[in-house]
Structure 1
């Protein structure tokens, strides 16, 4: 008899049940957003996007569609660390995309997404050539005082070159396809959104903008980040991952937040939309290469690449036995301030850790021929970092690596160490009037490693925070404090 424990191994093998895709709008009626990193250098997209940027720069200063005024929308209104982070930015991208199409006379113009997981996250060469795609081509000033961000003083430079991608930096593992897929498997919207924003989104902004150890930073580091043409394609990738999560059958909860007169349409008219209006991306007129599929498939059971036959009566019993929902396992408070190159350890007593670590849960995926499926994997254990006092706006740019129960942790401990869990960074967290941020880190892999070695003692989990300067040769002056850590099963 095939038992549940034998079927779902701790290695993360999955059982998958295909779902019939709902009928989608015709692809011919939608603007198609493609992968920037797979485009040929002579792809028409580069020419059209450069033309749109140039035309925006030529618009009168009073025109709300101008390049600078579009960036000011972000500085004045963008939400970060909130439950409508994804919705607001989807509207922002879509109206910008329509403005581009209007100005160049191409109503079907579509933005592209910068796929961090391909080519080690390198930005294509046209964005470094002497043309409108290069942020240095324009030398746009920031010098703006926003009620949302406060004073903004950034410059038109980037921390990447055509030969260096985001995966080449410390913490760059968060941009790999494996890590992105790990985030997509979280069926809880709040946790999914927090992970997506706090890790690849934030880190992308910081690595591109932190060209120096201390201010002034590049535009991507602060509220006027849309002055860099790569901003829009960075956020297109964030939106693409959300769209894939949605296409798999996951549900974005209702959010009635209104964005009244924050955005302008292609004609430059102020519009009124809500967060709920952003939940259906096809209704907004666009889709992605990765969300186009009308395929259906039979029930497939997969265990490490091997197709197995299973009695139909086994499936309801299996899904019923898979744990669902989020459960708090433990919580601890902290008073220590974290400093660059120095680890801060916060001990959390996690109840029934081993039982929850090797349980199972369902999630939704469309990884089989693009067709939505229900799948089962081992439970994930997450650390939720709460009530954080972030670095000040004048501190050095940092990334924060998370380790678990590492007895020899130092600033030189590599991110391929088995105690390593993940990385986050701060972007927008020091905005004026913003509440204290939270970050979500998946600590499952180091916990399973410790369990296999017999090193999980008394359900005690030591979450270790290691801040590192993005530019190691700098001042290394930055500090923050995490007041509370919760360990949850999801």
Structure 2
């Protein structure tokens, strides 16, 4: 297959936007009044939308807590950078512990903020990136203006300005911490310890950790103040790929799966492993991190797209991190309530639940800086003792209301169907794309007119080089030669991209919703009845936000091992 050129399209952008928007509106995307929701019950704390005027007091308390944490000595585990290092050392991405670990992480962080701000009612606000945040540009979401105030931006002088200063303050403290303690049980090293979890990530000593943070040639974790966040107050908007990833269309698709692992991310043997991404993690989560991180040019004039804390595993240095993940957690809560309304499981089942629930989470501390007693994934399977609920936001319309519940239950009783594509070209590399053909029953390719109708996903499994995590691949549907490789194309389904630095030891599976692309090409009369779908995986030139002419040639390749289309 020839490389797709970055120009021309067989459908106008107006038609494309009309068709993709129809997927959301036909599904009832704009039918619920703001504030109407499936009952969440009475809770002590309420997490508000960041843009809600009532959140102003909460935001001020957040600033106060950050100021205090930045001033705490490095020996205090509640110090701002010590909390961020917990994420560096233990966070799971690309597996089925992604949601539950981050629920525990931001839940304890919220309690620390409550303690240090002196605000006993403090609850983290959430950043609903699907909403428009720029009244001057209603089609481009981005970073809300308030998040450039005071210490809500990591470019503020209260933060550590240089990596040398960061290392000088924290190196000895980290070396003396309990992380490296070797514990033996019955003469055998206990890998369910902090040091065991670090070893599973290849971090053998403090020197290994500092190498990852400051010296890794694949990209740094720590950034000076001038490059602490890529998006600026003057240019806060997301790029096109991220705008697509956070759109209501993508969000509703992300909330549609009927089983936990498709909604979350695939199973692994431990939370340090990476096996793949569900729609929620792989699309809005990863894209927002990478886009907000942005770019910078070093002293030698080299421009990189790996700049900014939000793109790396020290991402919690940016206060946006916690509001971003509060929204991810909110959407997990929305999905859970949808599953409950339909009578579907909300967690892994059977032996899967035990394996998932028993996974150790050993690095969290409480509001006094003491290790917490809740030390497994199962302790955070529900919101539980954190005792918060969310002000309704984008995605609530996925939950059936009133009489619609019976119809939705009847539709949801249909079994999940799987259709394997025949791979016709497996290699995606510079100048070429991989592709596969899959035949889908005509009934599943019809336009969605109701929320309870099935939605199609492509699970694309690719083998990448061990250091090939930094490259993006576009997924296109029925794309002719010369189709545009960006979200303006009616054939564009999504982008495969990772977050952070990972050594890729095994194939990675990405889940991508197809309904938007199918609606757009159907609108353009390009969906032929009875013909198989051609799904292509095409390397992208990595255009960097804020620099219109800067691109990086694709120097990696992927082998597409399988493409499976599922209906949910």
User: Would you call these one fold, judging by a TM-score over 0.5?
Assistant: yes
Matched, 1:236 2:326: yes
The SS at the match of 1:438 is strand
Q: CA deviation at 1:414?
A: 4.4
Matched, 1:109 2:122: yes
Q: Rate the CA distance shift 1:106–1:463 in 2: closer, same or farther, 3 A.
A: same
Q: Aligned match of 1:336 in 421, 427, 440? A: 427
**More moved, 441-450 vs 68-77:** 441-450
Do 2:309 and 2:318's aligned partners in 1 also have CA atoms closer than 8 Å? Answer: yes
Do 2:143 and 2:236's aligned partners in 1 also have CA atoms closer than 8 Å? Answer: yes
Q: Identify the residue that residue 309 of structure 1 maps to in structure 2.
A: none
Matched, 1:262 2:335: no
Q: Identify the residue that residue 435 of structure 2 maps to in structure 1.
A: 346
Matched, 1:427 2:509: no
Name the CA distance, whole Å, in 2 between partners of 1:170 and 1:239.
Answer: 22
**More moved, 72-81 vs 258-267:** 258-267
Q: 1:297-352 CA distances to partner (integer Å, 9 max, x unpaired)?
A: 64259xxxxxxxxxx9xx69x9279632242333538652434xx4513123x244
Q: Aligned match of 2:84 in 44, 65, 71? A: 71
Matched, 1:464 2:480: no
Larger % of strand: which? 1
Runs of 5+ unmatched residues, structure 2: 1-21, 134-139, 175-197, 204-208, 214-219, 265-277, 297-302, 341-345
Q: Identify the residue that residue 35 of structure 1 maps to in structure 2.
A: 49
Q: Identify the residue that residue 4 of structure 1 maps to in structure 2.
A: none
Q: Identify the residue that residue 293 of structure 2 maps to in structure 1.
A: 209
Q: 1:8-44 CA distances to partner (integer Å, 9 max, x unpaired)?
A: x99995699x9xx9975423x2x2111113347x912
Q: Rate the CA distance shift 1:10–1:265 in 2: closer, same or farther, 3 A.
A: closer
Name the CA distance, whole Å, in 2 between partners of 1:289 and 1:135.
Answer: 27
**More moved, 197-206 vs 267-276:** 267-276
Q: CA deviation at 1:390?
A: 5.9
Q: CA deviation at 1:127?
A: 2.5
The SS at the match of 2:360 is strand
Name the CA distance, whole Å, in 1 between partners of 2:487 and 2:78.
Answer: 43
Name the CA distance, whole Å, in 1 between partners of 2:320 and 2:260.
Answer: 26
Q: Identify the residue that residue 476 of structure 1 maps to in structure 2.
A: 553
Q: 1:115-143 CA distances to partner (integer Å, 9 max, x unpaired)?
A: 111224332323223x2111111145376
Matched, 1:408 2:492: no
Name the CA distance, whole Å, in 1 between partners of 2:152 and 2:418.
Answer: 46
The 5 Å alignment of 1:17-166 reads: 24-27=40-43, 29=44, 31-39=45-53, 43-118=56-131, 119=133, 120-129=140-149, 131-137=150-156, 138-139=159-160, 141=163, 148=201, 151-152=212-213, 153=220, 154-155=222-223, 156=225, 157-166=228-237
Q: Aligned match of 2:378 in 253, 264, 276? A: 276
Name the CA distance, whole Å, in 2 between partners of 1:384 and 1:217.
Answer: 30
Paired residues in the alignment total 441
Q: Identify the residue that residue 376 of structure 1 maps to in structure 2.
A: 452
The SS at the match of 1:121 is coil
Do 2:77 and 2:365's aligned partners in 1 also have CA atoms closer than 8 Å? Answer: yes
Q: CA deviation at 1:223?
A: 0.9
The SS at the match of 1:90 is helix
Matched, 1:220 2:310: yes
The SS at the match of 1:107 is coil
The SS at the match of 1:469 is coil
Matched, 1:187 2:278: no
Q: Identify the residue that residue 388 of structure 2 maps to in structure 1.
A: 286
Do 1:334 and 1:482's aligned partners in 2 also have CA atoms closer than 8 Å? Answer: no
Q: Identify the residue that residue 319 of structure 1 maps to in structure 2.
A: 410
Matched, 1:437 2:521: no
Name the CA distance, whole Å, in 1 between partners of 2:511 and 2:401.
Answer: 34
Do 2:541 and 2:554's aligned partners in 1 also have CA atoms closer than 8 Å? Answer: no
Runs of 5+ unmatched residues, structure 1: 1-8, 302-311, 363-374
Q: 1:386-417 CA distances to partner (integer Å, 9 max, x unpaired)?
A: 14316838x8x65433211211345x544232
Do 2:129 and 2:141's aligned partners in 1 also have CA atoms closer than 8 Å? Answer: yes
Q: CA deviation at 1:426?
A: 1.4
Q: Identify the residue that residue 304 of structure 1 maps to in structure 2.
A: none
Do 1:322 and 1:361's aligned partners in 2 also have CA atoms closer than 8 Å? Answer: no
**More moved, 158-167 vs 69-78:** 158-167
Q: Identify the residue that residue 252 of structure 1 maps to in structure 2.
A: 347
Q: Rate the CA distance shift 1:482–1:99 in 2: closer, same or farther, 3 A.
A: farther
Provide the aligned C-alpha RMSD in A: 3.7
Q: 1:261-308 CA distances to partner (integer Å, 9 max, x unpaired)?
A: 211111111123322222222542111101899x9964259xxxxxxx
Larger % of helix: which? 2
**More moved, 73-82 vs 321-330:** 321-330
